[in-house]
Amino acid sequence: MRRMTVIWLSVAALAGCGGPSPPPAAPASATAEVAEPAPAASVYGDPSLPVAGRVLGTVIHTRDAEELRYVVLKTLTDRYADSKGIIVTQAEQDAYVAHVREALAKDPAVAAELGEESAEDAAARQEIAAAFIKQWKINQALHEQYGGRIIFQQGGPEPLDAYRAFLEERQAAGDFRIEDPAMASAFWRYYRDDSIHSFFEPGSAEERQALAVPPWAAN
């Protein structure tokens, strides 16, 4: 990844001003993911590792609870986005790119490089924009459906209680399960341990606006 793309990803998170958190990078073992012909389950990770969990027919091999959470959440929220008709338009991507470019241009050292971007850089910007916008829309939809408190994250607000309710609902429906009780404790800690988060003041104007207006559409 080129330097400007790294800068862009960092500033995209910080310039969101209430925008989406950056999507987590796929863990290294994602390269070992293989798809078996139906009806056999697909396999994520290194099959020599223990089975940590299962989600929508995918068997997850890992010893890392964070990786397990990444795979479960991405799989379920991708399906959720499809069910809600969540899409990202080219106009939205362009607006988001312009929004971040404006933030980048405030740094003279970075601004000088903006005019030198390659086709590869431009494509990376569009990919990053699409991922951020989709995640923001998922966050908004989950909060509208489940409500609850919102936390501060590096890339913007996250509807923590909505995610917990969504995952508990999907687990009860049998969409995923965690095989190792110790791994389950680590998996759920992010959603159930308030001490590791900073919350918007419940009922405040700031909380009401957190997921109301997309940052790329704000004046």
38 touches 54 (CB < 8 A): no
DSSP per-residue codes, 155-173: TEEE-HHHHHHHHHHHHHT
Mean pLDDT of 123-138: 92
pLDDT higher at 36 or 106: 106
Does 63 or 6 have the greater pLDDT score?
63
Between 59 and 9, the higher pLDDT residue:
59
Q: Over 50: is that where the pLDDT of 212 sits?
A: yes
Assess whether pLDDT exceeds 70 at residue 43: yes
Q: Is 89 helix (H, G, I), strand (E, B) or coil?
A: coil
User: 59 phi and psi, to 5 degrees?
Assistant: -90, 125
Structure tokens at 174: 């049998």
Domain count across the chain: 1
* Least trusted range by pLDDT, from 11-25, 70-84, 106-120, 128-142: 11-25
Please tell me which residue, 201 or 6, carries the higher pLDDT value: 201
Helical H segments across the chain, by residue range: 3-14, 65-83, 90-104, 108-114, 119-146, 160-172, 181-192, 205-210
Instruction: List, in sequence order, every residue forming a beta bridge with 177; answer none if it has no partner.
Output: 54
The percent of residues in the chain predicted with pLDDT above 90, rounded, is 62
* 179, pLDDT greater than 50: yes
User: Can you tell me the distance from the alpha carbon of 78 to that of 141, in angstroms, rounded to the nearest whole number?
Assistant: 13
- Tell me the per-residue pLDDT of 3-42, one tens digit each, with 9 for 90 and over: 555 445 544 554 444 433 434 444 444 444 444 444 457 9
pLDDT value of position 19? 38
Instruction: Report residue 79's pLDDT band, with 50, 70 and 90 as the boundaries.
Output: very high
Name, in order, each residue with C-beta under 8 angstroms of 53's C-beta and a sequence gap of 6 or more. Answer: 60, 68, 71, 72, 176, 177, 178, 179, 180, 183, 187
pLDDT of residue 141: 97
- Mean pLDDT estimate for the chain: 84
Q: C-alpha 108: how far from its chain's center?
A: 30
Dihedral sign for Cα atoms in the order 72, 78, 81, 82: negative
Residue with the bigger pLDDT between 39 and 165: it is: 165
The whole-number average pLDDT for the span 150-165 is 93
| Confidence (pLDDT) at 197 | 96
Phi and psi at residue 177, in whole multiples of 5°? Answer: -150, 155
Q: What is the Cα–Cα distance from 36 to 58, expressed in whole angstroms? A: 10
- Residue 159's domain spans which residues? 3-217
pLDDT class for 104, splitting at 50, 70, 90?
confident
Q: Are 217 and 95 in contact (CB under 8 A)?
A: yes
